[in-house]
Chains A and B, each alone.
Chain A
Amino acid sequence: MEKILQIKDLELSFNTFAGEVKAIRGVNFDLYKGETLAIVGESGSGKSVTSKSIMRLLPESSAEFKNGEILFGGRDLTKLSDKEMQKIRGKEISMIFQDPMTSLNPTMPIGRQITEPLLKHQKISKPEARKVAIDLLRLVGMPKPELRMKQYPHQFSGGQRQRIVIAISLACNPQILIADEPTTALDVTIQAQILELMKDLQRKIDTSIIFITHDLGVVANVADRVAVMYGGKIVEIGTVDEIFYNPQHPYTWGLLSSMPSLDTEDAKLYTIPGTPPDLLEPPKGDAFALRSEYAMKIDMEMDPPFFEISDTHKAATWLLHPDAPKVEPPLSVIERMKKFPGSRYYEGSKN
């Protein structure tokens, strides 16, 4: 498969009054054409910062690339000028944000907001752009699009506004769509509609999607591959089946255990103890070690490298080192692994 975006050893810091906050500490991943890559992690794990750094939407005054590159179409996005980035934003890479209630300009009719990227990036006239905008609105399932072009954002519901934001993001048929928690602010029934819409549109225009979320239920629904982020790093990456049914990193175990499922019998849901690390002074070794019951001495001293479980599946934990003791994952995770051919708990192989 064709790699459309490559992120290599990306390091990014925010210079604050308190000091340098190392928000991204060496992130590597590739995005393939037409796939959906989900990036999951809790607040402060660096998932949003990673996505915004691709678009270079972080405040130039405080955010600073320390190392690495973001390769897109043969160019390193970290080195482009703002003018060059303007030609990429909204045309080749576009973005959907978390809160549709605040991401549309309240004093501009939505028609103008949709035609803006068209007029900016494509050589078309205003009436043509208007036509395209109406088609886009129809595409995202907005009834009576002609009448609604002149209306303002406050005349739409939250779900409708997110549809409009999606229409804007798709206006120029981007190669990459970055969706930063696009369903978090919506209620559950609308969430499902928006996810369906995104999957549907992806099939139609064959764009690659980076889907940022902390909702594992959503991930299972939309993603082809999943990257789990913790403390400014990717700790585990693999196909959606590998992450859900053969997870290797204790943090992924924690995430999956804290997700309610239909056969959860305990009344109490598991929570990962502790809080995410302070990236002003990132801990030595494995950032998750302090919260992990599986932590070993080496976790406190050395950063674990990536161990390959399969061609597509990698995890950064010392537990995968040949010399590490074999540990038992949490029960709910073992239950999951029983369903995955190739995991050591696979029931098909035992019987």
Chain B
Amino acid sequence: MARYIGKRMFYMLITLILIATFTFFLMKILPGSPIASADRLSPEQRAIVEASYGLDRPLPVQYFDYMFGLVQGDLGVSINQFKGAPVTDIILNRIGPSAQIGFQGMLFGTILGILFGMVAAVKQNSWIDYASTTVAIIGISIPSFVFASLLQYWLAVEWQLFPVAFWKEGFMSSVLPSLALAMFPLATAARFIRSEMIEVLGSDYITLAKAKGASGSEIAFKHAFRNALIPLITVLGPMAVSILTGSLVVEQIFAIPGIGEQFVTSIMVQDFSIIMGTTIFFSVFLILVILIVDVLYGVIDPRIRLSGGKS
């Protein structure tokens, strides 16, 4: 297992280098300049500013310089958004709230979604099934900002249970954005678990479990659930990354100083270092989650565990 993970780590490193390289050159192709109000500067002034950030050097030199820093864990400094502040600090300052609402939303949505899906599968074609399917369709088709606004209106403005916006009251501030983010994983989990459970419940080993005298809930939880989990894990991994790393819209609506909001602003002002840093940060996260998902497959399904362990 250790050897397998080591091998995977090596490939992950290569993937990261490729991602960094592509992002670097793609951004260099972009028209415009990271230097604020560049249009109003004279060519000479502009050259001076560019030189101070090392942007006047040939591309390959800039590239290797950046990559060298990257390997040492240095993501550079912000060019215009937070002039001179280290990108690492900016990301670390912003990731907290995003991770918190993302984690809460994921956890709540996935657990509730799995429950909905399981009940729907066990009571197939009952009113519970139809209700859960309806929730799933709503969750997938209605964008999170609609939920966000509705939650704000009902729970914050009308009933005043939670703050309307801002990141000032700790957990209470995180409830509404978490709920808004939870809808999509909830709907996805319910849909996947339902269809997979229905398939698993029709398999021979479930009939055998029933023939042993197992009750309905024992069959659903002890026998079927684990076998129905694999496809869900596959979609939940990447979804967790996108939600944990911040949902721009939800962060905007609730005025949360998160990383999603930060990322978009940095793109608009072309703050090269922040874009690079955030992209690399997201990539590391995604690649790690994919590794975790692959390891989880093995934990859930012993048939995968062995073939992975031998390699």
Contact = CB atoms under 8 A, between A and B. Distances in A.
B302 interface: yes
Given A90-B213, A105-B227, A121-B213, A154 B302 contact: yes
Contact of B303 (A94, A99, A103, A154): A154
B232 to A, nearest CB: 14
A168 B210 CA distance: 12
Interface in B277-311: 300-303, 306
A105 B205 contact: yes
A102 B212 contact: no
Contacts of B302: 106-107, 152, 154
Contacts of A169: 211
Contacts of A88: 213
B226 interface: yes
Given A106-B227, A152-B302, A86 B205 contact: no
A97 interface: yes
Contact of B205 (A87, A90, A103, A155): A103
Given A152-B303, A154-B302, A154-B303, A105 B209 contact: yes
Interface string B212-224: 1111100000110
A22 interface: no
A99 B204 contact: yes
A91 interface: yes
Which of A83, A91, A106 has most B Cβ within 10 Å?
Answer: A106
B207 interface: yes
A105 B226 CA distance: 10
A107 B207 contact: no
Nearest to B215: A86
A137 B302 CA distance: 21
Nearest to A91: B213
Contacts of A121: 213
A95 interface: yes
Contacts of A108: 222-223, 226
Interface string B224-250: 001100000000000000000000000
B203 interface: yes
A116 interface: yes
A86 B207 contact: no
Most buried by A among B210, B211, B223, B300: B211
B140 to A, nearest CB: 27
A96 to B, nearest CB: 9
Contacts of A106: 205, 227, 301-303
A117 B222 CA distance: 13
B208 A103 contact: yes
Nearest to A99: B204
Best-surrounded residue of B209, B214, B216 (most CB of chain A within 10 A): B209
Contacts of A168: 208, 212
A97 B207 contact: yes
Contacts of B216: 82
Interface string A221-260: 0000000000000000000000000000000000000000
Given A97-B204, A102-B204, A107 B227 contact: yes
A104 interface: yes
Contact of B211 (A61, A89, A102, A105): A89
B227 A116 contact: no
A97 to B, nearest CB: 6
A87 B213 CA distance: 6
Given A102-B204, A103-B204, A108-B223, A95 B211 contact: yes
Nearest to A83: B215
Interface of B: 124-125, 203-205, 207-216, 222-223, 226-227, 300-303, 306
Given A57-B207, A89-B213, A103-B204, 18 more contacts: A55-B211, A57-B211, A61-B125, A90-B212, A91-B213, A94-B212, A95-B208, A103-B208, A105-B205, A105-B209, A106-B205, A107-B301, A116-B214, A120-B212, A120-B214, A154-B303, A155-B306, A165-B208
19 contacts: A57-B207, A61-B124, A83-B215, A88-B213, A89-B210, A89-B212, A89-B213, A95-B208, A97-B211, A103-B205, A103-B208, A105-B205, A106-B301, A107-B300, A116-B212, A120-B212, A120-B214, A152-B302, A168-B212
Interface of A: 55, 57, 61, 82-83, 86-91, 94-95, 97, 99, 102-108, 116-117, 120-121, 152, 154-155, 165, 168-169
